[in-house]
């Protein structure tokens, strides 16, 4: 592996020495609580409305599918405009959509198609939001502290998935499902407040003559940059495979919670276990990762993820099910942190928005993966769907690691 891909091991809190990063981190903390609740709330609401595994897959498809279509344009925009201002606007609109959902529930007029439409609009916003947010982080800290900053972001994501489930059942019991969506709206509004306080210097534009440059030309320029870097393409290919099937358990968790006889309580505990796995993973990387052998760490995490999905389908005691859900959360988090860190380290700043937006295809592909898993679960069984996803991840991890290794200097 080239020296560019080696990540410096530093004190786990060193990124917090930067004022702008601290504000960004706090804003993202509220945002991650909102995002966790949004994903869990939409799936649980659709489960209540339809009791259909296929419709659960449709929620994931409509929520993440727009990323496949619009994320590349979002990357072009991220390289042309003030990224922080763009994120503030998208977060504000997401807060508005969450409140609209809560009102529809409160007035008892919510329908499955409402939820799918709102999920689609949210996905469109994320297509422009995420490339900018990811591209901002390298401008907030020095390059040698980048992995530490990304790990800290992943930690707050994991913390949200740990603490969020503790709030999910109380919100459902005392405020009903609409309370979840009012909570989501408030979290995103707090994100907007903190993001407005971040002072980021304008990034270098990829266009020397913005008046004559068009989006298509900028997009083509980004593709040319990537195709000239084989290591970028292979890393992104691996990310797409894991992204396609990596959220399969999350899509079907409401069904498995019902199978274990627990409803919302077991569902929240499964989410809690997955969050714990993510937090453990971030601590491991913050304290013990030196950045060496990153590709092999990706391979190991991909294999553990695939195997855990398969084994989860046959475990009987509930405690063992929680353990394997924890392992799924841990391995998935390790994979994405390492993959994101390497890419953000080796990509030039003026292309970072476009590259990370195309890298989002890995996350966006989970929309199709969720739809496919939901369809297989409806046609055969949820257990067969997870086995299918696990085998696909194992095979994909081995093949793409081999390709990546051959193309890495």
Q: What pLDDT digit, counting tens, does each position of 384-399 carry? A: 888 988 998 898 888 8
Dump pLDDT digits (tens) for 24-54. 999 998 988 888 788 888 888 998 899 887 8
Q: Which two tokens stand for residue 153?
A: 């972001």
pLDDT at 308: 92
Across the chain, what does the average pLDDT equal? 80
Dump pLDDT digits (tens) for 193-239. 999 999 876 655 555 444 445 666 776 777 788 777 777 777 787 78
For residues 258 and 262, give the distance between their C-alpha atoms in angstroms, rounded to a whole number. Answer: 6
Q: Closest Cα partner for 87 from 171, 193, 167, 163?
A: 193
Q: What is the pLDDT averaged over residues 372-379? A: 82
Which residues are within 8 A (CB) of 208 and not within 5 positions of it... i.e. 6 or more apart?
A: none
- Please state the three-class secondary structure of 101-135 as a single string: HHHHHHCCCCCHHHHHHHHHHHHHHHHHHHHHHHH
pLDDT band at 120 (very low <50, low <70, confident <90, very high): very high
Residue 209: C-alpha distances to residues 35, 37, 49, 82, 102 (Å):
37, 42, 52, 16, 45
**What letter does residue 73 receive in the DSSP assignment?**
H
Q: What is the pLDDT averaged over residues 376-382? A: 85
pLDDT at 288: 58
pLDDT at 305: 92
Asked if 182 contacts 175 with a C-beta cutoff of 8 angstroms, the reply is: yes
DSSP string, 266-290: HHHHHHHHHHHHHHHHHHHHHHH--
Q: Which two tokens stand for residue 211?
A: 């008046």
Residue 9, pLDDT above cutoff 70: no
Residue keyed to tokens 């937090």: 279
pLDDT at 90: 94
Residue 11: C-alpha distances to residues 127, 214, 280, 287, 289 (Å):
33, 43, 17, 8, 11
**What letter does residue 247 receive in the DSSP assignment?**
T
Residue 65: C-alpha distances to residues 127, 135, 366 (Å):
10, 21, 8
Q: Which of 126-140, 181-195, 290-304 has the lowest mean pLDDT?
A: 290-304
Fold of 12-199+215-407: Growth Hormone; Chain: A; (1.20.1250)
């Amino acid at each position: 592996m080239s020296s560019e891909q080696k990540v410096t091991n530093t004190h786990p809190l060193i990124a917090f020495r930067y004022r702008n990063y601290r504000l960004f981190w706090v804003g993202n903390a509220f945002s991650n609580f909102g995002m966790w609740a949004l994903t869990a709330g939409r799936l649980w609401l659709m489960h209540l409305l339809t009791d259909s595994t296929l419709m659960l897959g449709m929620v994931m498809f409509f929520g993440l599918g727009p990323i496949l279509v619009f994320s590349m344009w979002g990357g072009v925009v991220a390289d042309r405009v003030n990224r922080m201002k763009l994120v503030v606007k998208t977060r504000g609109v997401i807060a508005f959509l969450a409140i609209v959902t809560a009102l529809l529930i409160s007035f008892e007029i919510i329908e499955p198609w409402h939820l799918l439409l709102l999920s689609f609009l949210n996905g469109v916003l994320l297509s422009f939001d995420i490339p900018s947010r990811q591209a901002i982080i390298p401008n907030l800290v020095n390059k040698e502290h980048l992995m530490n900053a990304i790990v800290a972001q992943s930690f707050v994501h994991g913390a949200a998935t740990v603490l969020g489930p503790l709030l999910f059942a109380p919100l459902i019991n005392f405020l009903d499902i609409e309370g979840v969506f009012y909570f989501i709206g408030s979290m995103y509004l707090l994100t907007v407040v903190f993001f407005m306080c971040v002072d980021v210097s304008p990034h270098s534009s990829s266009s020397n003559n913005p008046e004559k440059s068009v989006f298509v030309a900028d997009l083509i320029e980004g593709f040319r940059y990537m195709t000239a870097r084989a290591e970028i393409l292979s890393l992104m290919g691996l990310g797409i495979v894991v992204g396609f099937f990596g959220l399969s358990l999350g899509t079907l968790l409401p069904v498995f919670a019902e199978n274990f006889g627990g409803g919302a309580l077991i569902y929240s505990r499964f989410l809690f276990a997955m969050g714990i796995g993510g937090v453990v993973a971030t601590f491991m990387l913050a304290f013990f990762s030196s950045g060496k052998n990153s590709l092999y760490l990706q391979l190991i995490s991909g294999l553990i993820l695939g195997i855990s999905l398969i084994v989860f389908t046959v475990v009987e005691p509930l405690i063992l099910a929680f353990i394997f859900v924890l392992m799924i959360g841990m391995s998935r988090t390790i994979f994405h942190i390492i993959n994101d860190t390497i890419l953000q380290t080796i990509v030039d700043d003026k292309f970072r928005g476009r590259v990370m937006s195309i890298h989002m295809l890995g996350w966006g592909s989970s929309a199709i993966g969720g739809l496919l898993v939901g369809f297989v679960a409806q046609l055969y069984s949820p257990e067969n769907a997870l086995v299918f996803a696990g085998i696909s991840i194992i095979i994909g991890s081995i093949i793409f690691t081999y390709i990546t290794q051959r193309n890495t200097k």
